[in-house]
Chain A
């Protein structure tokens, strides 16, 4: 069982954060950013060429994040690899002890830096989760061939956007991922807490929040330009409701970041009160320095801080224990 899985199983409030891989051949800068989060968050997501922009591969960054003392969650999209490559990479990740995996369909290449790339989408998020569960639990590939040995101890995650149309179907879509094998679920930015609450309630009513841990996506709007961008509809799946826009714009130029920070802290505090919510997922790339303040303002920083063993055992020397390969 991964440290993240243990923490969620114990019902402890859990905080994960996105950590964007670098565009370059050294992970040092990313590790630098990651160290600012160590002790404050329980695990970090290494995105898989997010937004269809080329970055260092998620598995390499996951290993680098672990070396920097963080519990890695490796993301895998179905955009760039067919079922052969996805299963192969999953085996490689498992052999390196990377057990937390998040599967998603992925943004279309059109939105990235190589818009002419061939979109693959051989599997989708649901069939990929299903495949990963079969590989772990039945010890077989999609082809039926036996795995020797099968990947053990994998902790399977998914994403969902409760705010995109058809809104009435979004809980059902999450339920499909849970049926396929999702054990934790991270959401798109929550700016509209009422809609999020309704979505969680629908999952709770089906008894699914006890089978799958829900982590609410949190963003900090730092400038009116960022707000314009997020609200423009050009960012797939992001909805900023009018009252939130009014509040941020009302703060006045130069104060947007302060208000965005407060707003994010309020959203964290509110979503953590919703029954069935296991914690939050910080989508705050570039904001690592102020994450501690944010968590303190939200009232969820208790027991966290540099040196805190939030997730994963810290050895006597202060270095984080690295899970044994193939363990």
Chain B
């Protein structure tokens, strides 16, 4: 496990107390909403989407932009907004992380909405959100997603 025991221990501590958990989740919401357009899906993909929240896409696409992106990068559904994936691609490209966008994202678990993704991460509940690489060398495993 690459997670450090300290964060795991803090996470477990917070999770045990309903009030602490609520406050912690509210803090996550507050800090991520403004910065990344976070929608609190509880299974954060930001580290591999160029820090642009894919849940802000009207189709909630987690595997890249749809084919309807307008010239200049406008969202097809809300033309006054920029496509979250165009933004994510630009950020990933400037940080040298375009390769991350090629990872295959597994389907969203809709029971997790509103939860703290940080607590879920520390508890190891979202270890399987995406593939390690682009999955081209051998068929990537999808696994069970109830």
Given contacts A122-B107, A144-B146, A206-B136, contact A166 B102 (CB under 8 A): no
Tell me if A105 and B59 are in contact (CB < 8 A).
Answer: yes
- Flag A22-38 by CB within 8 Å of B: 1 or 0 each: 00000000000000000
Does A326 make an interface contact (CB < 8 A)? no
Give Cα distance in the complex from A126 to B103, angstroms: 11
Given contacts A144-B144, A144-B146, A166-B86, contact A179 B135 (CB under 8 A): yes
Q: Inside 8 A of A208's CB, which chain B residues have their CB?
A: 136
Q: How many residues of A contact B (CB 8 A)?
A: 47
Residue in B closest to A173 when the chains form the complex, CB atoms: B64
Q: Inside 8 A of B144's CB, which chain A residues have their CB?
A: 140, 142-144
- Of the candidates A79, A105, A108, A180, the one whose C-beta lies within 8 Å of that of B135 is A180
Does B140 make an interface contact (CB < 8 A)? yes
Interface residues of B in 107-129 (CB under 8 A from A): 107-108, 110
Q: Inside 8 A of B8's CB, which chain A residues have their CB?
A: none
Give Cα distance in the complex from A140 to B144, angstroms: 9
Give Cα distance in the complex from A108 to B144, angstroms: 28
Interface residues of A in 100-143 (CB under 8 A from B): 105-108, 110, 119, 121-127, 130-131, 133-134, 137, 140, 142-143
Give Cα distance in the complex from A176 to B66, angstroms: 13
Does B42 make an interface contact (CB < 8 A)? no
Stretch of A147-155, A233-241, A262-270, A317-325 contacting B (4+ beta carbons < 8 Å): A233-241
Does A287 make an interface contact (CB < 8 A)? no
Tell me if A176 and B134 are in contact (CB < 8 A).
Answer: yes
Interface residues of B in 46-99 (CB under 8 A from A): 58-73, 76-77, 83, 85-86, 89-90, 93, 98
Does B142 make an interface contact (CB < 8 A)? yes
Residue in B closest to A145 when the chains form the complex, CB atoms: B144
User: Which of A119, A173, A178 has the most B CB atoms < 10 Å from its CB?
Assistant: A173
Give Cα distance in the complex from A74 to B95, angstroms: 40
- Of the candidates B67, B98, B102, the one whose C-beta lies within 8 Å of that of A188 is B67
Does A16 make an interface contact (CB < 8 A)? no
Tell me if A237 and B134 are in contact (CB < 8 A).
Answer: no
Given contacts A121-B59, A124-B62, contact A175 B136 (CB under 8 A): yes
Given contacts A108-B58, A160-B67, contact A176 B102 (CB under 8 A): yes
Task: Give the dominant DSSP class at B's interface.
Answer: loop
Q: Inside 8 A of B41's CB, which chain A residues have their CB?
A: none
What is the minimal beta-carbon distance from B75 to any residue of chain A, in angstroms? 10
Does B21 make an interface contact (CB < 8 A)? no
Does B40 make an interface contact (CB < 8 A)? no
Q: Inside 8 A of A123's CB, which chain B residues have their CB?
A: 107
Q: Inside 8 A of B102's CB, which chain A residues have their CB?
A: 172, 175-176
Q: Inside 8 A of B6's CB, which chain A residues have their CB?
A: none
Does A303 make an interface contact (CB < 8 A)? no
Q: Inside 8 A of B108's CB, which chain A residues have their CB?
A: 122
Task: List 14 interface pairs A-B (beta carbons < 8 Å), by A numbering.
Answer: A79-B59, A105-B61, A108-B59, A108-B68, A124-B59, A124-B61, A127-B63, A142-B145, A166-B89, A168-B93, A169-B101, A172-B98, A206-B136, A233-B71
Starting from the known contacts A161-B67, A166-B90, A176-B64, 8 additional A-B residue pairs (CB-CB under 8 Å) come to: A108-B76, A126-B105, A130-B140, A165-B73, A173-B65, A176-B63, A236-B66, A237-B76
Which residues of A come within 8 Å of B, CB atoms? 79, 83, 105-108, 110, 119, 121-127, 130-131, 133-134, 137, 140, 142-144, 159-161, 164-166, 168-169, 172-173, 175-176, 178-181, 188, 206, 208, 233, 236-237, 239
Which residues of B come within 8 Å of A, CB atoms? 58-73, 76-77, 83, 85-86, 89-90, 93, 98, 101-102, 104-108, 110, 134-136, 139-140, 142-146
